[in-house]
Structure 1
Amino acid sequence: MIRLLLADDQALVRGAVAALLDLEPDLEVVAQVGRGDEVVDAVREHAVDVALLDVEMPGLDGVAAAAALRDRVPSCRSLIVTTFGRPGYLRRALDAGASGFVVKDTPAELLADAVRRVHSGLRVVDPDLAVASLTVGASPLTDREAHVLALAADGGTVAGIAGEAYLSEGTVRNYLSSAIGKTGARTRAEAVRIARDNGWL
């Protein structure tokens, strides 16, 4: 029996996926959480084999949760199951140690098969997303540029971002300018949108 954890902040979605996977004779959902920062403890408590993680969750996002599992519970494999099929998310998830990445509209039998393949040590990636990821390429943003742009996404002023990121205002302006240039945007807001659409933030 493959023991599963579902991490998704939408209880209805979580319940539906659990009901579908529990119909499989070799799969058992033993834990469900609504926050990314609850994943590691729940995996340890319930001896989970495969964690199915949504990308956008409170506490920790699914990519960060996958990295935490890789570092703290390496025996548990992670599979990203998300509505947000963005190429940059796929690359970030695989870099964080996720064993697979599928979108939520994947048919139930294919999701169950993906779980089995991940459990057996294979990598599973949505084929359309894999092609898009190769087309879009890696994020052009440095970690600092992405961090500053993410802070700017909340509408923060340069002074506010500088205080939060422990940088000078001039450095923040430089990072924002660089991020705008690298994304091919005309404004800070457009750079945020482009970066989000590509899964770079």
Structure 2
Amino acid sequence: MTTIYLAEDQGMLNTALATLLDLEIDLSVVGTATNGGTALEDIRRLNPDVAILDIEMPQMTGLEVASRLVQVDVSTKVIILTTFARKSYFQQAVAATVNGYLLKDGPSDALVQAIHSVMAGDTVYAPELVRSVLSGSENPLTPREQEIMIYLRQGLNTKRIAQTVFLSEGTVRNYISAILSKTGSHSRIEAINTAEANGWLDV
């Protein structure tokens, strides 16, 4: 029987995943948490076979928990779950020597298969993540475009951005047009989502 620990800050998703995995005859969920601090303490105490960790959690991120587990030489294998295929997150996960890195919107059977694979000694990365993160695609945005996108993400309108970066509104609109073109987007929200998913706003 493979023992599983789940750490996901969204309570409903945590419960759903635990229920799903417990349906497998060879898997047993031995604990759950909604924050990284509790997860680290529990994993060190319970020493489960596999820990499934969300990246963005209160107190400690899943990546921080994974790094700490390496430092204290815990044998638990780690599978990271994430919403976005961000290059910076992926690089941190590799540095933390995680055993799996999956996207949350993947099929449920992929998670079950990943657990079996890491227990067999394999490292599992979501195919979608490998394509987007390891493709070597360069960030098409200039530093100024990145700056403007960050202000867009904060909800600032064109006038406010122009005042903040000391440019005319027309110039800011030109930058936004270039951003939409480079990201292949039809709206500012779509452009922000595309840039975030590709890690183009990571600093």
Specify if TM > 0.5.
yes
Q: 2:149 aligns with which of 174, 177, 190?
A: 190
Q: Deviations over 1:31-83 (max 9, x none)?
A: 10111122221012222111101111111111111111111143011001122
Q: Deviations over 1:163-201 (max 9, x none)?
A: xxxxxxxxxxxxxxxxxxx96221645368688544446
Q: For the Cα contact (< 8 Å) 1:40–1:72, is it kept in 2?
A: no
Return the letter of the residue paired with 2:91.
R
How far apart are 1:135 and its partner, in Å?
A: 2.5
Cross-structure match for 1:110: 110
Larger Rg: 2
How far apart are 1:137 and its partner, in Å?
A: 6.2
Return the letter of the residue paired with 1:36.
G
Map 1:68-79; keep pairs closer than 5 Å. Answer: 68-79=68-79
Structure 1: give runs of 5+ residues left out of the alignment.
Answer: 141-181
Map 1:1-201; keep pairs closer than 5 Å. Answer: 1-136=1-136, 184-186=142-144, 188=147, 190=149, 196-199=196-199, 200=202
Cross-structure match for 1:170: none
Say which SS state the counterpart of residue 134 (structure 2) adopts. Answer: helix
Task: Tell me, in whole angstroms, the C-alpha distance in 2 between the residues paired with 1:97 and 1:108.
Answer: 23
Runs in 1 of length 4+ with deviation above 3 angstroms?
187-201
Task: Tell me, in whole angstroms, the C-alpha distance in 2 between the residues paired with 1:60 and 1:3.
Answer: 22
Task: Tell me, in whole angstroms, the C-alpha distance in 1 between the residues paired with 2:131 and 2:54.
Answer: 21
Task: Tell me, in whole angstroms, the C-alpha distance in 2 between the residues paired with 1:191 and 1:65.
Answer: 28
Equivalent pairs: percent with the same residue?
Answer: 35
- Alpha-carbon RMSD: 2.5
Task: Tell me, in whole angstroms, the C-alpha distance in 2 between the residues paired with 1:137 and 1:118.
Answer: 28
Structure 2: give runs of 5+ residues left out of the alignment.
Answer: 154-191
Q: Deviations over 1:86-129 (max 9, x none)?
A: 23322221211211111112222221110111122210000121
Say which SS state the counterpart of residue 5 (structure 1) adopts. Answer: strand
Task: Tell me, in whole angstroms, the C-alpha distance in 1 between the residues paired with 2:97 and 2:137.
Answer: 19
